[in-house]
Amino acid sequence: MDILTDVGLTAAEPAKFPMVNGLKLSTEIGDLMPNPEAYRRIIGKLLYLTLTRPNIFYVVQHLSQFLQAPKVPHYEVALHVLRYLKGTIHKGLFYPEDNDLQVTIYFDADWESCQMSARSLTRYCVFLGPSLVSWKTKKQKTAVKSTVKTEYRSMSATTSELEWVSYILHDLQVSISLPFTLYCDNKTAIHILENSVFHERTKHLRIDCHYTRDKLLEGLLKTTHVSSQDQLADIMTKPLGEYQHNFLNSKLGLMDTPPIPA
C-alpha cells in the first residue's frame, strides 16, 4: 500500500497478471524517461517485495535490467505490475503447521529469453513439504546453441541449491528423507543425466553432467518428468496468461491472507 500511495495508484484499476504475455522489452524501443529516478525507486521497492512475492520475480528481474537508462515502455510495465499488486494485495505465502518436510524442487530454463544478449534464464523453486522456501531466476553467464545445454546448466545450478538445502537442514538437525525429487519437463535432459555414455553433442556438458550424476548416484536426488503445464518454475521465467498464472500461483502456496488491521 505504501508503494501504491507513493506512485498515486491507490484508485487505479487492478491488473489480472503482472506482465502481458508475449511483450518484448528492449533498450532500443521507446523514449528515455525524463525522470529516471522515479523508475529506479519503483524497481528498488519491487526487488524488496520479491522476498515474499515470488509470482512477480520474473518481471521485476526483467525490469531491473533497464535501470541505467529506463525508457517510457519500461515505466509503463512497472506501473502495470503495481496495478497487479493492487488486485492481489492480500496474497501471501502460506506455511502450514502440518509438514512432512519432504524436499522437492522444480527447475526449468528458457532458451535465449534475453532479447539483448540471447542468453537463457535459469529458474528453480524449492519446496519443503507444501511450503515454498527458496526460489531464483538468473540469466546464464554465456549464450548456448541448444535448449538441452540450457536445461542442463539449469539442472547443475539447481543441484547445487539442493546440496545447500541439505546442509542447512542437517545443521538444523531436521530429519529428511532422500532422495530429493527434481521435477523437469525436458525428457532429453533427463535421458542425458541417466545415460553414462557421452557423445559429440554433449561433450561441452561433461562437468555439469558428472556433477549432477554424482549427486544422483549418491542418492541426494532423483529426476521425475513433469508436464510443461504443471512446471511451477515457469512463473519465474516468462509472462503467462491469466489462467496459467493464477493456476501456478495457487501451486506455489500463494493464498489470500486476512487483511492487516488499520
SS3 110: strand
Q: What residues contact residue 91 under an 8 Å CB cut-off, 6+ apart?
A: 53, 55, 249, 254, 255, 256, 257
Q: Which residues pair with 92 in a beta bridge?
A: 255
What are the structural domain ranges in the chain? 2-89, 103-235
pLDDT for 90 equals 84
The CATH architecture of the domain made up of 103-235 is 2-Layer Sandwich (3.30)
Distance CA 180, CA 182 (A): 6
pLDDT tens-place string over residues 37-50 = 999 999 999 998 88
Q: What percent of the chain is modeled with pLDDT above 70?
A: 81
Q: pLDDT value at position 136?
A: 80
Q: Retrieve residue 93's grid coordinates.
A: 505465502
Residues of the chain with pLDDT under 70: 110-120, 139-148, 151-152, 192-210, 258-262
Radius of gyration of the chain (CA): 20
Strands 180-184 and 103-110, by their bridges, are: parallel
Q: Tell me if 78 sits within 8 A of 42, measured CB to CB.
A: yes
pLDDT computed for residue 142 by the predictor: 58
CB 239 within 8 A of CB 248: no
* Residue 104 DSSP class: E
The span from the CA of 124 to the CA of 134, in Å, is 8
Contacts of 10 (CB under 8 A, 6+ apart): 1, 4, 86
Q: Whose grid coordinates read 507513493?
A: 6
DSSP state, residue 32? B
pLDDT at 171: 92
Neighbours of 214 (CB within 10 A): 11
CA atoms in the 13 A half-sphere facing the CB of 57:
25
Q: How far apart are CA 124 and CA 211, in angstroms?
A: 18
pLDDT tens string 210-256: 677 778 778 888 888 888 778 877 777 777 777 888 888 888 888 87
Q: What is the pTM of this model?
A: 0.77
Q: What is the pLDDT of residue 1?
A: 86
Ramachandran region, residue 78 (left: φ > 0; alpha: ψ -120 to 50; beta: rest): alpha
Closest alpha carbon to 159 in 195, 187, 122, 130: 122
Phi-psi region of 96 (alpha: psi -120 to 50; beta: other; left: phi over 0): beta
| pLDDT score recorded for residue 199 | 44
